[in-house]
Amino acid sequence: MTAILGVLNVTPDSFSDGGRWERLDDAVAHARRLRDAGADWIDVGGESTRPGAVAVDPDEEQDRVLPVVRALTQAGTPVSIDTRNASTARAAVEEGATIINDVSGGLYDPEMAVVAAETGVRFVVMHWRGGADATPDYADVVTEVREELKARIAELIVFGVRPEQIIIDPGLGFAKNAHHNWELLRGLDRLTPLAPVLVGASRKRFIGRLLPPNAPLGKRDAPTATISALAAASGAWGVRVHDVAATRLALDVWDHWRTGGADDRD
């Protein structure tokens, strides 16, 4: 079954839900709702990576995320830490996080590979040519992303990260335009042989182009759920989403399609 990472941004400026879950009680309550809706991990982030976002000092980031990580893991909720900073990743793992999700794939902070190797937790390695503001420039986006991820995996193994720890993410929206994003989704089956693949399409701008101008961000959840089901059909290990319930239902439909409704036999 395809895993679901439910997004929990404890930031004032994330593009979708900035400022909504800054208070600890609010964050924990929202995480509980995500978990009840079917999330396998809660992906806790304390730094926005939207276009135009300003980097956050690791100490401030940890002030935001560690109380949430601690509260969730103490309640038995699996947690992924969404961070580019090695010190934040290490501290979150010490609090019980079991996945490090790094949008830079360990390139932003050279100590991240060391932390991944020493902690032994699963490590999401996103394709990275810079942040969301970086210029998209590809001759063949699927081939180039595949080769760059392949090289990054090899580099991480040299640093001591075990192959079975690594999950890859094609980095939709990061130095990629809408065409590149759709090409990567269409070519997902070319990435899955490298390592388990996490797809992070939720509510992103390229999905918004399918909707009427100025449509609320929540209107992107239905197409996000469709992408989740199609990603599962293409062999994705997991999806990272804001609306867990919609994606859980879409994945359940795909699972029944795939198995012929084996669980529904009388």
Average pLDDT over residues 152-156: 98
Q: Give the angle subtended at the CA of 14 by the CAs of 13 and 20, to the nearest 5°.
A: 80
- Of 84, 122, 240, 248, the active-site residue reads 240
| Per-residue tokens: 2 | 């395809």
- Of 35, 50, 176, 204, the active-site residue reads 204
What's the CATH number where 70 sits? 3.20.20.20
Active site residue 204: yes
Q: What is the mean pLDDT of the chain?
A: 92
Domain housing 99: 3-264
Residue pLDDT, tens place only, 208-261 = 999 998 899 899 999 999 999 999 999 999 999 999 999 999 999 999 999 998
Residue pLDDT, tens place only, 30-56 = 999 999 999 999 999 998 776 666 788
Average pLDDT over residues 102-115: 96
Question: Tell me, what's the pLDDT at 21?
Answer: 59
Active site residue 219: no
Q: At what angle do helices 244-259 and 221-233 cross, to 10 degrees?
A: 30
Rg (CA), the chain: 17
- What is the 3-state secondary structure of 184-196? HHHCHHHCCCCCC
Count of domains observed in the chain: 1
Pairing of strands 122-126, 41-45: unpaired
Q: What are the CA-CA distances from residue 117 to residues 5, 100, 162, 176 (Å)?
A: 22, 11, 7, 29
